[in-house]
């Protein structure tokens, strides 16, 4: 009978935090632990208590948490060569962390033994044996990470295997083959993992820890499983040093939906995208929309022929059901769109306007004109809704602009610039003139616009500008280039995107701001 359980070991909080631009506070780490435990991974590596006080503080703080699915692991190194294991501060802090699982790394490549540790090959084996045995005697589940294992095996296979056996024979229940430099190929991982599995007792679990320097971390991890590994180490969204670690957000659904293995319980897999977004949010990193499975673009369709086929049967251009991993299908609209794109996109949106077959052509024609001018509606659904209403002659403005003025002044070298905006509107036959200051000209204009409207439309009080992106369309024209502005707004319940295009960045911003306000007023007051 096939052993189909693969233990997922998450090292986002330790190895992932070594990635460029990635940092977690103690509070962040506690929240991520709770999310990962709920999601159902087998192990959560909390950090290296011997390397910094913050990680030790984390282990103190997490002691009160009752784990439902995962085991907490503390990470560290084998004892130092000149110290007895009981005198090594790093080892003692692993014990003090009170984590039930301890993962230690040791050298398996003679290059590192000779040139980094500067000890003999036999001394290295003793260090590994002493460290594993000591932790095992202190009732810890011991996982041994064989650092640089694949490179070490290719250099001296006999010694690399001795390293694994030294750990396994002294209490390590799992030995992990690390592709630390990320340079191994799948064929090498397959062959070496098979040899290791045959060389060790069946009571020892073989694991793998891959880096993505060759773009193969996920593939190498899955290849290792196909050849006997049953423990995979990786990070959420592939965070990690250099090019990152193996991405668990790709590994887990591949194991579950394509390879007949169990990684998390089947009812938890639909929470994968939520976990991915949550970790990015706490890391303060913009979510990579092109990530497989969990990215915004993972199930997005743009080409007219593709959309037409997906409308008839999704499996024509989708390798799995998006909802399996908590994602959703998205239909994109652009000058590459056909009528099928428009028809399917309209089903996604909160539009109640009846659109006939002839109307689809009118909308498509107007869309192509707009996109040719520089508009882009992929991230501006709210502006697209309003475009449809305008084409259908069902749009009515909530206010009329008489004019606006924006100024930026800087009184002296040491002062911050001051931005001020004035708007003149006619609302329900009444003339309204307001002014506001802001952090920048667009922020000032946004505040002035909502200040002018709030007496008439109090429901916009909760609307906030959440994101503001500028793209220069025609770089060869320099400062006279056409500018596209994308704005994301929200009211605490929903978020929506709008777009504006002009040679003047303030004009483009105004257009996107007006669409943002009109969209929510249609939602609240009338109907789209």
32-49 pLDDT, tens per residue?
999 999 999 999 999 999
Q: Confirm or reject CATH 3.20.20.70 for domain 7-265, answering yes or no.
A: yes
Q: What is the pLDDT of residues 453-512, one digit of tens each?
A: 999 999 999 999 898 999 887 655 555 578 999 999 999 889 999 999 999 999 999 999
Dist CA 194 CA 92 (whole Å): 35
The answer to whether residues 451 and 436 touch, using CB atoms and an 8 Å cutoff, is: yes
What lies within 8 Å, CB to CB, of 487 at 6+ separation is 465, 467, 468, 469, 497, 498, 499, 500, 509, 512, 513, 516
Residue 305 neighbours by CB under 8 Å, 6+ apart? 338
* Residue whose tokens read 């009981």: 86
Given a cut of 80, whether residue 354 has pLDDT beyond it is no
Determine the Cα angle at 351 with ends 347 and 353, to 5°: 105
Pairwise CA distance, residues 513 & 356, whole Å: 30
Question: Smallest Cα–Cα separation from 320: which of 394, 223, 253?
Answer: 253
Mean pLDDT of 353-372: 85
Residue 527 has pLDDT above 50, yes or no: yes
Beta bridge partners of 73: 45, 101
- pLDDT of the residue at 1: 35
pLDDT digits (tens, 9 = 90+) for 265-319: 878 999 999 999 999 999 989 899 999 999 999 999 888 788 889 889 999 999 9
pLDDT digits (tens, 9 = 90+) for 93-126: 999 999 999 999 999 999 999 999 999 999 999 9
- Indicate the SS3 state at residue 42: coil
Helix, strand or coil, per DSSP, at residue 345: helix
Distance CA 64, CA 62 (A): 5
In the sheet that 495-502 helps form, which strands lie side by side, from edge to edge? 464-472, 483-490, 495-502
Whether the per-residue pLDDT at 252 is higher than 50: the answer is: yes
What region, left, alpha or beta, does residue 19 occupy, with left being phi > 0 and alpha being psi -120 to 50 degrees? beta
Residue 480 pLDDT: 57
Q: Decide if domain 400-525 falls under CATH 3.30.160.270.
A: yes
pTM of the predicted protein model: 0.79
CA nearest neighbour of 227 among 186, 253, 190, 278: 190
Using one digit for the tens of pLDDT, what is the confidence trace for 478-487? Answer: 555 789 999 9
The confidence score (pLDDT) of residue 526 equals: 72
19 phi and psi angles, rounded to 5 deg: -70, 150
Instruction: State the Cα–Cα distance between residues 397 and 291, nearest whole angstrom.
Output: 39
Given this model, what pLDDT does residue 455 score?
Answer: 94
- Tell me the C-alpha distance between 301 and 371, whole Å: 17
User: How would DSSP label each residue in 65-129?
Assistant: ---SS-EEEEEEEPPPTTS-GGG-HHHHHHHHTT-SEEEEEEE-SHHHIIIII---HHHHHHHHH
- As beta bridge partners, residue 75 has 103
Distance of alpha carbon 340 from alpha carbon 301, whole angstroms: 11
Partnered with residue 178 across adjacent β-strands are 209
pLDDT for res 304: 78
Q: Please provide the average confidence, as pLDDT, over all residues in the chain.
A: 93
The confidence score (pLDDT) of residue 525 equals: 81
Q: Average the pLDDT over 438-453 and give the result.
A: 93
Taking the CA atoms of residue 144, residue 145, residue 147 and residue 151 in that order, the dihedral angle to the nearest 10 degrees is 100
343: pLDDT strictly greater than 90:
no
User: In angstroms, rounded to a whole number, what is the distance separating the alpha carbons of residues 216 and 184?
Assistant: 8
| Cβ atoms of residues 471 and 486 within 8 Å | yes
CA distances from residue 502 to 395, 441, 485, 517 in whole angstroms, order as listed:
22, 16, 9, 19
Domain ranges of the chain: 7-265, 400-525
pLDDT of amino acid 239: 98
For 141, the enclosing helix (H) or strand (E) is: strand 141-147
Q: What percent of the chain is modeled with pLDDT above 70?
A: 97
**pLDDT of 337 higher than 90:** no
Q: Which has the closest alpha carbon to 292: 258, 266, 254?
A: 254
The tokens for 441 are 């000209």
Residue 467 half-sphere exposure toward CB, CA atoms < 13 A: 11
Run of H or E residues at 485 = strand 483-490
Share of the chain above pLDDT 90, in %: 77
Cβ proximity of 465 and 450 under 8 Å: no
Q: For the stretch 154-172, what's the b/e string if a residue is b when 16 or more beta carbons lie within 10 angstroms of its beta carbon?
A: eebeebbbbbbbbbbebbb
Q: Residue 374 and residue 380: Cα distance in Å, rounded?
A: 13
């Amino acid at each position: 009978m096939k052993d189909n359980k693969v233990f997922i070991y998450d090292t986002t909080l330790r190895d992932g935090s070594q990635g460029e631009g990635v940092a977690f506070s103690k509070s962040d780490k506690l929240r991520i632990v709770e999310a990962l435990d709920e999601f159902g991974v087998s192990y959560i590596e909390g950090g290296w208590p011997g390397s910094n006080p913050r990680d030790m503080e984390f282990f103190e703080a997490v002691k009160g948490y009752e784990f439902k699915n995962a085991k907490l692991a503390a990470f560290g190194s084998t004892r130092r060569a000149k110290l007895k294991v009981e005198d090594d501060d790093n080892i003692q802090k692993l014990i003090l962390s009170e984590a039930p699982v301890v993962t230690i790394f040791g050298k398996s490549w003679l290059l590192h033994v000779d040139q980094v540790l500067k000890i003999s090959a036999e001394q290295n084996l003793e260090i590994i044996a002493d460290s594993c045995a000591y932790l095992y005697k202190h009732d810890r589940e011991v996982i041994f990470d064989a650092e640089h294992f694949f490179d070490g095996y290719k250099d001296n296979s006999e010694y690399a295997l001795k390293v694994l056996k030294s750990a396994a024979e002294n209490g390590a229940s799992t030995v992990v083959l690390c592709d630390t430099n990320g340079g191994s190929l799948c064929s090498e991982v397959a062959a070496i993992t098979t040899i290791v599995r045959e060389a060790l007792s069946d009571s020892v679990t073989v694991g793998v820890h891959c880096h993505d320097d060759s773009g193969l971390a996920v593939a190498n991890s899955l290849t290792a499983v196909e050849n006997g590994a049953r423990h995979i180490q990786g990070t959420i969204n592939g965070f990690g040093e250099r090019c990152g670690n193996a991405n668990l957000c790709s590994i887990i659904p591949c194991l579950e939906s394509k390879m007949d293995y169990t990684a998390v319980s089947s009812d938890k897999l639909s929470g994968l995208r939520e976990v991915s977004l949550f970790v990015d949010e706490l890391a303060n990193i913009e979510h990579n929309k092109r990530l497989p499975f969990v990215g915004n673009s993972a199930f997005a369709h743009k080409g007219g022929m593709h959309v037409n086929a997906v409308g008839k049967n999704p499996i024509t251009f989708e390798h799995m059901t998006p909802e399996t991993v908590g994602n959703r299908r998205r239909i994109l609209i652009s000058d590459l769109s056909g009528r099928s794109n428009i028809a399917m996109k309209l089903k996604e949106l909160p539009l109640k306007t009846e659109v006939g077959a002839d109307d689809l052509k009118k909308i498509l024609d107007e869309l192509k004109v707009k996109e040719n001018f520089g508009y882009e509606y992929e991230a501006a659904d709210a502006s697209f809704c309003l475009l449809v209403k305008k084409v259908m002659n069902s749009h009515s403005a909530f206010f009329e602009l008489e004019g606006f003025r924006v100024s930026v002044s800087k009184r002296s070298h040491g002062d911050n610039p001051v931005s001020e905006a004035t708007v003149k509107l006619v609302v329900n036959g009444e003339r309204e003139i307001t002014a506001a200051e802001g952090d920048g000209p667009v922020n000032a204009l946004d505040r002035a616009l909502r200040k002018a409207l709030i007496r008439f439309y109090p429901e916009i009080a909760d609307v906030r500008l959440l994101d503001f992106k500028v793209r220069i369309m025609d770089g060869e024209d320099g400062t006279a280039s056409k500018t596209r502005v994308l704005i994301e707004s929200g009211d605490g319940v929903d978020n929506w995107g709008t777009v504006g295009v002009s040679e003047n960045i303030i004009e483009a911003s105004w257009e996107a701001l007006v669409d943002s306000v009109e969209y929510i007023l249609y939602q609240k007051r009338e109907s789209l």
